[in-house]
Amino acid sequence: MASKALYSQRDPALKKRDDFEDILDERRNSSDLRYALRCYTPVLYKGMTPCKASTLKTIVLQSEQVRYVINQVSKEMGETPDIVQEEALAILEEMAQRLQLSTIRFFAFTLSKAFKALFQSVRVNEEGIQRLQQAIHEHPVVLLPSHRSYIDFLMMSYVLYTYDLALPVIAAGMDFLGMKFVGEMLRMSGAFFIRRSFGGDKLYWAVFSEYVKTMLRNGYAPIEFFLEGTRSRTCKSLTPKLGLLNIVMDPFFKGEVFDVSLVPISISYERVLEETLYARELLGVPKPKESTSGLLKARRILSEDYGSIHVYFGQPVSVRSLAQGRINRSEYNLIPRYIPRKSSEETQSFVNDTAYMLVRRQEENMVLRPWVLIAAVLMQNLDGLDLELLTKQTVWLRGLAGAFGAFLDWPDQTPADKVVASSLALHHGLVQATGGRVRLLEGPQDPASPEEALFDQAVGVLSCASYRNQVLHVFLRPALVAVALETANTSRNDDVYSSFLYLRNVFSNEFILCPGASVQDFEEGCYLLLKCGAIQMLQQDLVVTERGQPILSFLSGMLEPFLQGYQVVCRYFSEEASEGLTEKQYIPAVRSFAVKRILSEGLKCYEALSSDLQKNALAALLRMSALRKVKAADQVTLKVNTMAVKAIEDTLGGKVPAQKPVLARL
């Protein structure tokens, strides 16, 4: 089965830490200026047709694809084609990158200074660099980094420049253009700008997709974009967006290129620059508009220590190999290739599966620092715990994570208590260790109101949660099995699977769970639990061993905040949501409901306050038909099916077992 191969267990031997090289090391020992001005002669795509950034625009405007849509639009609008062409040109002017080496050199110089101030090290897997170099030579390449920080794409170009690799063109959100000067600087370092939404705008879509495809086909430069579409504020991977992935795979489907290499890249930060910023955003403090002055104010962060960064260039994935046996390219034989049309169902599901697979590769290759394990322990002890116990638990968790194949960067030579101490020191803004006891940092001593105190606390919790989230993907599948074991009717394999399936379904917007891979996920979860001796297989039953108790309770504890958060959302809908609630009103309303609950009932489910969780829960409820969108006039309101919502709430609370799905596929 093709999908099985996609999600195969990675070989832990691949991830030797020794393979990483600190690129700042050399920067600390030699001249940045010389580095910025050094000879740059990257290996290019062998089939490249050399062309300038400005000629690209002409090629795009004159392409059959764009001309076809221009004519179509001009007929629909009753405008002359010239006017529509002008419009297309304007779109292109707004979008196009103007990559030039001098800007890159400028960034190479300034970023060297900045990175040295901010980070202890920037570690890059050299083998990945070699693989990438080969891939760039062979086929058009698409770089797919994870997105946790604004500096991701600067970091990418910086690393590629350092290794003398072809500089990418990068799809960036239009909001950057709002920043004077900086937007243009980014443009000159290879960024091209796309609108966040352009729903039905045919012309925009045609110009944009043709622009990207032209650069890909001509081998102009590697194309870089973020599969997740936006920065993940929670440090969990986001459900992938398919638009750009569709675009870059299309030239292969249509035979315009022999193959396309997709390179998943994982950038992991020991300490994310935006950590508390994200938490505030999730709590509803609006995101500050990108502005140059804002950036300048952020200068003070230069005096902080942000630990180290790992950049892991994953194995390039050949679209051709993936498509083998799944895509029938001859479906494009009978219609001119420039006529836009909806891709077939097989193609859509292929692109979707590929996107999930790539995000999972990104997750798997994230280098995990000891701190994320500490954060995971802390998140289950929000009242704090003894340093000694914390260390013990962290070491225990390290063993478990190792057994589950986590990509851990744990300094083996250093004693555990030193490792924990230095992690705590690095994150002094989040945790404090006083009198041998470690707890999350409290807010200011004299809060104006209980709500404010709550928010202050929640900022700390959500920040800490974002580090735990980095390690979630390692534990996710066994943790879902662990919860399923608790809630299932019996310990029979198929009962557990039903519960698992139910949970997996509920959380499929929350976590990266590949559609259609529930059996594999269940098997993977069970396999890992069996492997670490937490459960045993007795005929048709999954039995928890004595040794397994703490493991399972820790694992289900990890998902507890999500279970609770979803229950809060359900309760909101069953108890408080008013008729005619619009989507826009939903987030503030559910937030204030959660605030009330926490204050009145002393709950600790701070994560229910996170807009990310709230949105995911909403999507889940809609998907499960517990909610329905009703279009009335120009508003979309949410119609609640109270029974269904209550049923979900009760199931998540473990009060009722999950209904058996009609078709258990075991």
Partner 1 sequence: MASNYNSSERQRIAQQRLKIIAGHLQKDGDGQPVRIFANDCKAEATDRRSSVARSMPKRRQEIMKWNGWGYSDSRFLFNKKGQAEFTGKRYRLSGLILPSLKDWFEGTFGANLQHKSPAVPSVSASTVPPPCLNEDFVQDVKASGVPYSHEAEDRMFRAHGHCLHEIFALREGKVGRVPDMVVWPNCHDDVVKIVELASKHNVCLIPYGGGTSVSSALECPPEETRSIVSLDTSQMNRILWIDEKNLTAHIEAGIVGQDLERVLNESGYCTGHEPDSMEFSSLGGWVATRASGMKKNIYGNIEDLVIHIKMVTPRGVIEKGCQGPRMSMGPDIHHFILGSEGTLGVVTEVTMKIRPIPEYQKYGSVVFPSFEQGVACLREIAKQRCAPASIRLMDNAQFQFGHALKPQVSSIFTSFLDGLKKFYITKFKGFDPHRLCVTTLLFEGDRERVLQHEKQVYDIAAKFGGLAAGEDNGQRGYMLTFVIAYLRDLGMEYYVIGESFETSVPWDRVLDLCRNVKERIVRECKEKGVQFPPMSTCRVTQTYDAGACVYFYFAFNYRGLADPVHVYDQVEHAAREEILANGGSLSHHHGVGKLRKQWMKESISNVGLGMLKSVKDFVDPDNIFGNRNLL
Residues lying near partner 1 in the complex (CB under 8 A) are found at 47, 254-256, 258, 328-330, 332-333, 336-337
479, 630 in Cβ contact below 8 A? no
Distances (CA, A) of 446 to 202, 442, 452: 55, 11, 10
Rounded to the nearest whole angstrom, what is the least distance from the CB of residue 65 to partner 1 in the complex?
Answer: 12
Instruction: Kindly give, in sequence order, each residue whose CB lies less than 8 Å from that of residue 465, ignoring residues fewer than 6 positions away.
Output: 234, 375, 379, 561, 607, 610
Rounded to the nearest whole angstrom, what is the least distance from the CB of residue 316 to partner 1 in the complex?
Answer: 15
Closer CB to partner 1, 258 or 543, in the complex: 258
Closer CB to partner 1, 323 or 559, in the complex: 323
- Return the closest-CA partner of residue 114 out of 275, 306, 302, 310: 302
Closer CB to partner 1, 138 or 417, in the complex: 138
Closer CB to partner 1, 38 or 254, in the complex: 254
600, 607 in Cβ contact below 8 A? no
Closer CB to partner 1, 334 or 633, in the complex: 334
- Sheet containing 627-632: order of strands: 581-582, 635-640, 627-632
Closer CB to partner 1, 192 or 332, in the complex: 332
Rounded to the nearest whole angstrom, what is the least distance from the CB of residue 334 to partner 1 in the complex?
Answer: 9
Closer CB to partner 1, 139 or 187, in the complex: 139
- Return the closest-CA partner of residue 85 out of 98, 100, 69: 69
Rounded to the nearest whole angstrom, what is the least distance from the CB of residue 656 to partner 1 in the complex?
Answer: 52
Closer CB to partner 1, 339 or 537, in the complex: 339
Q: How many CB atoms sit inside 10 A of residue 653's CB?
A: 15
Closer CB to partner 1, 255 or 294, in the complex: 255
Rounded to the nearest whole angstrom, what is the least distance from the CB of residue 323 to partner 1 in the complex?
Answer: 10
Rounded to the nearest whole angstrom, what is the least distance from the CB of residue 330 to partner 1 in the complex?
Answer: 5
| CA angle, residues 61, 65, 70, in degrees to nearest 5 | 65
Rounded to the nearest whole angstrom, what is the least distance from the CB of residue 246 to partner 1 in the complex?
Answer: 19
Angle between helices 642-652 and 548-571 (to 10 degrees): 160
Q: Which residue has the tokens 């290739």?
A: 337
Q: How many CB atoms sit inside 10 A of residue 451's CB?
A: 14
Closer CB to partner 1, 2 or 636, in the complex: 2
587, 609 in Cβ contact below 8 A? no
Rounded to the nearest whole angstrom, what is the least distance from the CB of residue 44 to partner 1 in the complex?
Answer: 15
At residue 191, what are phi and psi to the nearest 5 degrees?
Answer: -80, 140
Rounded to the nearest whole angstrom, what is the least distance from the CB of residue 333 to partner 1 in the complex?
Answer: 4
Instruction: Kindly give, in sequence order, each residue whose CB lies less than 8 Å from that of residue 161, ignoring residues fewer than 6 positions away.
Output: 40, 104, 108, 167
Rounded to the nearest whole angstrom, what is the least distance from the CB of residue 64 to partner 1 in the complex?
Answer: 8
Helix/strand/coil percent split, the chain, to 5? 55, 10, 30
Task: Provide the phi-psi class of 47: left if phi over 0, else alpha when psi is between -120 and 50, else beta.
Answer: alpha
